[in-house]
Structure formats: structure tokens, C-alpha cells
Amino acid sequence: MALIELRDVRKVYDLGEVKVEALRSATLSIERGEYVALIGPSGSGKSTLMNTLGCLDRPTSGSYLLDGHEVVEMSKDRRAEIRNAHLGFVFQNFNLLARTSAVENVELPLLYAKGISSRERHQRAVAALQSVGLGDRLDHHPSQLSGGQQQRVAIARALVNQPSILMGDEPTGNLDSKTSREVIALFRDLNRREHLTVIIVTHDPNVARSADRTIVLRDGEIVADTTDFHQALQSLQALEDVDAVKPD
């Protein structure tokens, strides 16, 4: 059984007089250890798909099996438990607490885990920071760290619960090109070394290129799902060409 199985998943947002169909009959499977990029134009549904896969949003209809568990039928509290146990998130804006040290930022997810002592929490946070190359920055606050180092702290925080899936939502969006390459190399290394499943939302082709598989979305639909990155780029370019000739 695949780690992730979506079948005919729809997500509709009811905005009163208007209903927005953000996902339309999305069907896909992701195996353990895959490295997948989600790309598409603005408003294509890639962030909605990421939120669905990350158990942040429950689908309106369809089936979502995560490691054999049906997410669509889960309560909000149960989805939160699944997120904490199986999923690690890295966001564009780092989302670090400004007045808190790197190691304390990384410890935060463990505060919600049962049966972990403060000593073990600290040890695991230190180990996570060491795994991303920040063993010498444990007591530094975010203001004392570069953008790339802050994102490494965020990655360490995402890893501290030892998730089976690491999710990145535009994780290089606030980084320069050199730092972006370093962060993506870290994602690639974690995928290969830890056999960690990695799913990234990005608008940057250079970031998507690092993945083994690319899923292209448009208007809530999956229009391409391929291990051939050039084919994915062609699909994306075709969508941009169509949008360019649409009347205002």
C-alpha cells in the first residue's frame, strides 16, 4: 500500500454566494521515500492540495488514505494527532519565535507529545539541529541567524518528531539563490539518507527540478504527473500560453 492515496478528492470553499472548487477529482499515490514537487500557476490548487495532504484541511468529498488511515472521516483532533506524529512542515516565512533560542524553537513540537521528558526533548532538539548543520548555533536567536540558518532551524523543528513525511510550502521563497540551493540540497540529502518522503510546493523551476517527480496543477486539477521534469515544464508552459491568450 502506498503511503499516500488520494481518490477523487474535491475541496470546495463556500464563500456565501460563491463556491470555489479548489480541488477537482484529484487522484494520486505517493510511495514511501518519494521526493515530489507540486507546481502550477497562482490559484491552481497546489497549496490546497498541500494542505489536504498535510491534514490541515479535510476534503469535501473523496478518499484520502494516509498510511492506511482514512483522513476524510477523521475529527479535527484526530487530524492534529496525525500531523504531530507523521508530518513535518517547513514554511516560506520560517515561523520561528523571535525571543526564543534555536534549540527552544526546535523543542516546541515535542511539548505536544506525550511521555517525553524535558531532558529527552532537549537532546532530540540538539540532535535535529546537528543533523542540519547548526550544532554550533543552539543558543542563537533568530535575529542572530541568516535567512538560510533560520530555515535550517525550521527544518530541524519539522524533523524533531521523526515524521515520515516532510512538507515544504515555498520553503525557499524568502531566500537568495545560493541559500536556496543549499536548503534544497538539504531536502535532497534528508530524502536519500533518511528515506524521508518529501513533498514541496514551489513556483521555482530550479527547486522543482530537484524532485524525482513533478505534479502540475491548474484550476484545481492535476494536469500532469511525471518523472520527466522537461515534460512537466512543457505542461506548465502550455498552461501559461493558454492563460496569456485569454481575454480580459
Q: How confident is the model at residue 240 (pLDDT cuts 50, 70, 90)?
A: confident
What is the distance between the alpha carbons of residues 193 and 222, in angstroms, rounded to a whole number? 30
Asked whether the beta carbons of 23 and 220 are under 8 A apart, the reply is yes
Provide the mean pLDDT of the chain.
Answer: 92
Average pLDDT over residues 140-160: 96
Asked whether the beta carbons of 174 and 93 are under 8 A apart, the reply is yes
Average pLDDT over residues 147-162: 95
pLDDT of residue 5: 97
pLDDT at 245 > cutoff 60: no
Of 72-86, 121-135, 163-177, 233-247, the one with minimum mean pLDDT is 233-247
What is the distance between the alpha carbons of residues 198 and 181, in angstroms, rounded to a whole number? 16
pLDDT at 183 > cutoff 90: yes
Average pLDDT over residues 232-238: 88
pLDDT of residue 238: 82
pLDDT at 113 > cutoff 80: no
Give domain 4-244's CATH superfamily. P-loop containing nucleotide triphosphate hydrolases (3.40.50.300)
148: CB partners within 8 A, 6+ apart: 175, 179, 182, 183
pLDDT of residue 246: 58
pTM of full prediction above 0.85: yes
What is the distance between the alpha carbons of residues 35 and 116, in angstroms, rounded to a whole number? 30
Q: How confident is the model at residue 15 (pLDDT cuts 50, 70, 90)?
A: confident
